[in-house]
Amino acid sequence: MSCKSVTGGSSGIGKCIAVECYRQGAFITLVARDEVKLLQAKKEVEKFAINDKQVVLCISVDVSSDYSQVESVIKQAQEKLGPVDMLVNCAGTSISGKFEDVEVDRFKKLMEVNYLGSVYPTRAVITTMKERRMGRIMFVSSQAGQIGLFGYTAYSPSKFALRGLAESLQMEIKPYNIYVTVAYPPDTDTPGLAEENKTKPLETKLIAETSGVCQPDQVAKIIVRDAVQGNFNSSVGPDGYMLSALTCGMSPVTSITEGLQQIVTMGLFRTIALFYLGSFDSIVRRCMIQREQSKAADKRE
């Protein structure tokens, strides 16, 4: 019997991750705030049972506000379903907009939800994982956690932070046979993306179109596969692969092949990246000129 906990498991990518784990026979705890959405997601996940012993447990908690609360609900869940052997930190939110248009509070809010909201659940499960000398910790970052883009001055840093956490933590817990994975999905068709799109600057839309929109079930399959295999890095699609190879820095390698591929492709991918950066800069410049022209036209009218 294995038990997986998925924060943000009531919607989008997190819900699909829960389904994917359930299809593989796991016990699941879904963690999110809204109880109605949690119950709805529980019903959806339960459809994919492969045996009649499987259970989906719902926990309603804000993963970002109070550590002692997060610790106590996770403890209760472990008492019911047994120790968590995989924690998926997927709860998160995004906001896009020009730096000066983003309300100052939002910078703090995004760090709280996306960063601290991953620290707290991880902190709550790590001691038991170390005692058992087994476990998997997944952090769901974003391609915007690998590159900073127009419109993501509040969001990107909260996703970059996860990488620093993941690298440091991995070095500490590898001897305990616990593996950390960071996933960097591109735009994915979820309620979260629909919400974000309502206020997304044109520049951000045009730049993000480069790597297209993925379906959450595809993204979830890749994430779960990489977490099970214990890969440090999890990316989606050819752009995702290039971005991860290019931004590997001092992150751990999972296999010799992966290391060799990074060494061999680095120069080529940097060359490609410079062309992408050039095209992003020209999108930004074009949008600025267009805005100024339409402002001037408005004045004349």
Ligand X SMILES: CCCCCCCCCCCCCCCC(=O)[C@@H](N)CO
Q: Which of 40, 60, 210, 254 binds ligand X (CB under 6 A)?
A: 210
- To the query of whether residue 141 is one of the catalytic residues in this protein, the response is yes
- To the query of whether residue 159 is one of the catalytic residues in this protein, the response is yes
Give helix 216-229 / helix 12-23 axis angle, nearest 10°: 60
| Segment interacting with ligand X (CB under 6 A) among 27-35, 190-198, 220-228, 293-301 | 190-198
Q: How many residues bind ligand NDP (CB under 6 A)?
A: 31
| Segment interacting with ligand X (CB under 6 A) among 77-85, 160-168, 215-223, 270-278 | 270-278
Q: How far apart are CA 103 and CA 16, in angstroms?
A: 31
Q: How far apart are CA 90 and CA 103, in angstroms?
A: 24
Q: CB-based contacts of 56: which residues, under 8 Å, 6+ apart?
A: 18, 22, 27, 28, 29, 30, 42, 45, 46
Q: Which positions from 16 through 35 interact with ligand NDP, judged by CB under 6 A?
A: 32-34
Q: From residue 191 to residue 210, what is the string marking binding to ligand NDP with x (rule CB under 6 A)?
A: xxx-----------------
Q: Minimal distance in Å, beta carbon 197 to ligand NDP? A: 9
> Does 96 participate in binding ligand NDP (rule CB under 6 A)?
no
> Does 74 participate in binding ligand NDP (rule CB under 6 A)?
no
| Region of residue 34 (phi > 0: left; psi between -120 and 50: alpha; otherwise: beta) | beta
Q: Which positions from 125 through 184 interact with ligand X, judged by CB under 6 A?
A: 142-144, 149
Q: Which of 5, 29, 94, 234 binds ligand NDP (CB under 6 A)?
A: 94
Q: How far apart are CA 121 and CA 123, in angstroms?
A: 5
Cross-sheet strand order for the sheet of 178-184: 56-60, 27-32, 3-7, 86-89, 135-140, 178-184, 233-235
Q: Which of 18, 193, 219, 227 binds ligand X (CB under 6 A)?
A: 193
Q: Are 40 and 6 contacting, i.e. CB atoms less than 8 angstroms apart?
A: no
> Does 211 participate in binding ligand X (rule CB under 6 A)?
yes
Residue 62 binds: one of ligand NDP, ligand X, none (C-beta under 5 to 8 A by kind): ligand NDP
Q: Which of 140, 180, 245, 246 binds ligand NDP (CB under 6 A)?
A: 140
Q: How far apart are CA 202 and CA 211, in angstroms?
A: 16
Active-site residue, from 96, 141, 156, 234: 141
Classified as helix, coil or strand, 206 is: helix
Q: Which positions from 53 through 112 interact with ligand X, judged by CB under 6 A?
A: 94
Q: Which of 4, 5, 14, 235 binds ligand NDP (CB under 6 A)?
A: 14
Active-site residue, from 115, 155, 179, 184: 155
> Would you tell me how many other CB atoms lie within 10 Å of the CB of residue 225?
13
| Segment interacting with ligand X (CB under 6 A) among 2-10, 28-36, 205-213, 258-266 | 205-213
- To the query of whether residue 11 is one of the catalytic residues in this protein, the response is no
Q: Are 162 and 118 contacting, i.e. CB atoms less than 8 angstroms apart?
A: yes
First to last CA, the chain: 70
Torsion on CA atoms 278, 282, 283, 286, rounded to nearest 10: 180
Interacting residue ranges for ligand X, rule: CB under 6 A: 94, 142-144, 149, 186-187, 192-193, 196, 208, 210-211, 239, 242-243, 246, 269, 272-273, 276
Residues labelled as active-site residues:
141, 155, 159
